[in-house]
Amino acid sequence: MFKLGDFDYRDRTVFLRLDLNSPVKNGKIISDARFRAALPTIIYLLEHGAKVVIGTHQSKPYKEDYITTEQHAEILSRLLGQEIEYVEDVFGKYGRERIGALKPGEAIILENLRFSAEEVKYKPLEECEKTFFVRKLSPLIDYVVNDAFAAAHRSQPSLVGFARLKPMIMGFLMEREVRALTKAYNTGERPRVYVLGGAKVDDSLRVAENVLRNGRADLILTGGLVGHVFTLAKGFHLGDANIEFMERKGLLEFIDWAEEILNEFYPNVRTPVDFAVDYRGTRVEVDLLSEEKWLFDNHLILDIGSRTVEKYREVLMKAKIIVANGPMGVFEREEFALGTVGVFRAIGESPAFSIVGGGHSIASIYQHGITGISHVSTGGGAMLSFFAGEKLPVLEAFRISYERFRNKLGGKTWKNRENWNRSPK
């Protein structure tokens, strides 16, 4: 696959697809983690004289955190110490004019790509190629650099649509992510422990099934709503309030599937032994087998308990490989962050090669100053898809682009070729 160093970018226009989709509170972006992760690629392109057109999505239509990229431009400008112009357009005349006006070493950021209807659908590469987004921008672009690992499981025009039209190159972050995840997945070291939390229950079940069935994991520790589903599948009752909550979220339907996994791999899947509930606004811990478990009937479980954290910690300290995705509870509320922070901290202290991901939940790693994790992945769903053994459309697109353009080269490197494929401006 093409790497950044394979090409000469001086005076070339590069479409740089990033994933700067970030958590938003009261209309403001509250974490710059994904911005920082993208900096090495942006700096490399600017320093090598590229004209950089940055594109990102932010959330999805009608959601509260679906905002313009104006703040993204401000954050990038601050981190880079250079103005990154916010262009209030995706591929219209104004946007194309701003791209055409770029000078070497300058960058702009297009409007939230999902403001364009084409970008909201998942379509095969061939369909993405036909979109107006790709057709309108293609003539203006020399290269595509894709550093949006967190969106690598999405087949959308900006992510895969240019692959057969332009060389599509891996950014530094993409390379780092793929290398770390591949290492954890293909390792021969043991024990390999997976920690699955958060609310993406179906994705996590796919991971559990894949890594256990294909001999990629030795033990799975569960928390968050994934933990709830496995706990129920083991036959424990979590109280009426929690059952109603899970029914509303459509999660009860996953219990049978979790049971099937347990039938095959029961000792390899650990579930919490205690939970913390919200008892009139405070954290109260309840043992799963204690007299107090009636509290589950009226109070929502918002975290795993301290005893579970201790048990998980013992396992994690002995692991050789750790892959963790998703929080153990509602970490956004300080009193219910104990489980997530306790487990992430144990992962950081473990001598294992460790990867932690989970989209927005990785913000809590930085907030709580947790160090020692080998690789903090920017990917949530993308990371889960990878460990579920699925083909990621963006990684497939890199391969297709490489095959297409490598052959045209006849063995020469792009760097040495002058003016290839200069598009009429």
Pairing of strands 274-279, 282-287: antiparallel
Given the complex with ligand 3PG, which of 12 and 114 has the nearer CB atom? Answer: 114
Nearer to ligand 3PG, 154 or 299 (CB): 154
Residues within the interface to ligand 3PG (CB under 6 A): 19, 21, 60, 150-151, 154, 359, 380-381
Task: Output 140 or 384, the one with its CB closest to ligand 3PG.
Answer: 384
CB of 140 to ligand 3PG, least distance (A): 25
- To ligand 3PG, the closest distance from the beta carbon of 176 in angstroms equals 17
Position closest to ligand 3PG via CB: 21
Taking the complex as a whole, the smallest distance from the CB of residue 340 to ligand 3PG amounts, in Å, to 17
**Distance of closest approach, residue 21 Cβ to ligand 3PG, in angstroms:** 3
Which tokens in the block code for residue 21?
């989709």
Of 19 and 285, which has the nearer Cβ to ligand 3PG? 19
Residue 56: CB minimum distance to ligand 3PG, A: 9
Rounded CA-CA distance 169/78 in Å is 26
Report in angstroms how near the CB of residue 154 gets to ligand 3PG at its nearest.
5
Shortest Å distance, C-beta 90 to ligand 3PG: 17
Nearer to ligand 3PG, 145 or 261 (CB): 145
**Closer by beta carbon to ligand 3PG, 115 or else 353:** 115
Q: What's the sign of the alpha-carbon dihedral 133, 139, 141, 147?
A: positive
Helix H, strand E, coil C: the string for 350-399 is: CCCEEEEECHHHHHHHHHCCCCCCCEECCCCHHHHHHHCCCCCHHHHHHH
Nearer to ligand 3PG, 156 or 401 (CB): 156
Phi then psi for residue 388, to 5 deg, are: -80, 0
- What is the smallest separation between the CB atom of 34 and ligand 3PG, expressed in angstroms? 8
Residues sharing a CB contact under 8 Å with residue 397, sequence separation 6 or more, in sequence order: 125, 146, 159, 160, 163, 168
Nearer of residues 30 and 317 to ligand 3PG, judged by Cβ: 30
